[in-house]
Amino acid sequence: MADTVLVERTGAVATLTVNRPDKLNALNVEVLRELSRTFHGLLEASEPVRAAVLTGAGKAFVAGADIAAMSELSVAEAKRFSDMGHRLLAMLEAAPFPVIAAVNGFALGGGLELALACDFIYASANAKLGQPEVNLGVIPGFGGTQRLMRRVGAARARELVYTGQQLTAAEAAAMGLVNKVLPPESLLEEAHKTARTIADKGPLAVAAAKRVMTRAEDVPLGVACELEAQAFATLFGSEDQKLGMRAFLARSPAVFTGR
């Protein structure tokens, strides 16, 4: 059996590819477990990852959850399946490095939920995105109702979830769901270019920025600003801050150590 998730390292950048193209990379228990195992491996790698790209093999990013596998789930089994998805997506959000979703085709249902747990989304011009679960008599089960609201606003998210509408990449970009729309042949190249740019920055600073910005979504502005101030001050105890500022003053590039 082919690996359902492929991982490739180029320096400090990792690329994860959901590899079930004959099923449009649909998510089942096996794929969720393999994604979790693979991502955990990146978190524990001896050579730290500083940015990651998540994409899909073939003509889909992830077309959704595996409906054939889901169709006979009991209430208890459905809850366990949903919990697996939530744990995986929480792991992506909590990672100390940014994850870029490179949506190369269909990103529907669980596929869009997976992309929403990434820091931002680049999409090929032929991509289709949406939460069509109501067409199946259910709702998003991996956080889609919540992350979509935070990404595009409550009213737009409600419309998309209630109608099951599928968006083109251009429509998704117009509402802020997608950061860039790219020709299919340029998608991964552009995602990797951005990932390399991020990987060259101070990794402690990037991790702190991600942590503060993620937590800020759930707290009042004053609390969020205090979290920012604390993280800002803490970084002044790092070697990276000293390296970065010395390099700036010397007009030379900084080579950060992550310490």
| Catalytic residue status for 113 | yes
Rg (alpha carbons) of the chain, rounded to whole number: 19
pLDDT exceeds cutoff 50 at 185: yes
Q: Which domains does the chain have, with CATH numbers?
A: 5-199 (3.90.226.10), 203-249 (1.10.12.10)
Residues in contact with 176: Cβ distance below 8 Å, sequence separation at least 6, in sequence order = 151, 152
Point out the catalytic residue in the list 30, 113, 171, 239. 113
From the list 30, 44, 72, 133, the catalytic residue is 133
- Show the tokens assigned to 93: 């959000």
Task: Choose among 66, 54, 43, 70: nearest CA to 5.
Answer: 54
Assess whether 133 carries a catalytic annotation: yes
State pTM to two decimals. 0.94
Q: List, for residues 19-65, the tens digit of each pLDDT value.
A: 999 999 999 999 999 999 999 999 998 899 999 999 999 999 999 88
Query: If you average pLDDT over every residue of the chain, what do you get?
Result: 95
- pLDDT tens digits for 212-231? 999 988 899 999 999 999 99
The candidate with the shortest Cα–Cα distance to 235, out of 202, 213, 196, is 202
pLDDT category at 69 given cuts 50, 70, 90 is confident
Cβ atoms of residues 206 and 50 within 8 Å: yes
DSSP per residue, 36-79: HHHHHHHHT-SS---EEEEEESTTEEE--B-HHHHTT--HHHHH
